[in-house]
Chain A
Amino acid sequence: MNVEEQIREIVARITHVDKSIITRESTFKEIKADSLDIVQALVAVEETFGIEIPDEDAQKFRNFGDFVSYVENRVAQKETV
């Protein structure tokens, strides 16, 4: 499973929405994710990929795609280190 699919599963599990409705363009509002869901998703993603996502970075995510791209970059950086 690639990074995007793993994050989609995590977000769908936390927000109780069907993962098929989560696209890269979906906003957190459209996924019905409240602030608590978002924090929980961040924590779960951090643990899954062994990265730390500072709040100031997370606040810039406009949609699911931003979240995925950010994590993909961080994972790639980690692999090159």
Chain B
Amino acid sequence: MSLEGKLALVTGGGRGIGRAIALKLASQGADIIINFFRRRDTAEQTAKEIEALGVKADVIRANVGDATKIDEMFDAIASKYGRLDILVNNAASGVGRSVMDIDVKAWEWTMDINVRAALLCAQRAAKLMEGRGGKIVSLSSLGSFLVWPTYAVVGVSKAALEALTRYLAIELAPKGICVNAVAASFVETEALKFYFDEAFKKHGMPATPAGRMVMPEDVANVVAFLCSEEAFMIRGQTIIIDGGLSLYSPLFAKEKD
């Protein structure tokens, strides 16, 4: 797999899973634009690591929850590069609440960043991919169909993101653009600590047949594959990366005893 000469935008690419994806795509030869919002320091650090791999790195600050800022980001990319080959919709946020505690503000905040941004970025990216084809990969979560404590609004946003992925895949196919998603279970990142670090280690780990946490690099490997020509015939799919967690039945726990 080689991505030499390709230009990739990774939203939220400065840290966590986005950082691993940016580094993986860079290791395969792609030039990377890292979008970040709250943490310039980590974005610039990641950019340095990317440049050390011998490709170009750029950083752009934008709150993807704000439609105007998305436009400004793509205006900047259009005028500086005039093209884009890969879009990774990775930036995400959320409010950890049970369904009864979700208010309009928490709903809109999460939906705007996790779903609307993916749509608006895909629309703008598709125009920059016109005539050359491209790849769009969005980051979903196993919480789109499994129910986790206080994950409701994020889970719903990810379910919508997967549906959006299917629609984009079909409608953008004639333009030579491949659109897919990945859904990981709990990934070892800083963000995990906000949700269920301890709970996962206690209950989730024994329920993961692969025997370890999903690492950011596990997700990055699949994203890189979906960005390659080898994945050309995969369209509108959400690839699960969970070490078997979603298939595991607690009945197996008895067998182990």
Name A residues whose Cβ lies closer than 8 Å to a Cβ of B.
36, 39-40, 43, 52, 54-56
Chain B residue nearest to A37 in the complex (CB): B105
Whether A36 contacts B105 by the Cβ 8 Å rule is yes
User: In the complex, what residues of B have CB within 8 A of residue A52's CB?
Assistant: 40, 61
B 59-99 binary contact with A (CB < 8 Å = 1; else 0): 00101001000000000000000000000000000010000
Q: A54-B39, A55-B38, A55-B39 are in contact. Are A43 and B63 (CB under 8 A)?
A: yes
Chain B residue nearest to A56 in the complex (CB): B41
B 12-43 binary contact with A (CB < 8 Å = 1; else 0): 00000000000000000000000000111100
B 38-62 binary contact with A (CB < 8 Å = 1; else 0): 1111000000000000000000010
Interface size on B, residues (CB 8 A): 11
Name B residues whose Cβ lies closer than 8 Å to a Cβ of A.
38-41, 61, 63, 66, 95, 105-106, 109
* 17 A–B pairs (Cβ distance < 8 Å), ordered by A: A36-B95, A36-B105, A36-B106, A36-B109, A39-B38, A40-B109, A43-B63, A43-B66, A52-B40, A52-B61, A54-B38, A54-B39, A54-B40, A54-B41, A55-B38, A55-B39, A56-B41
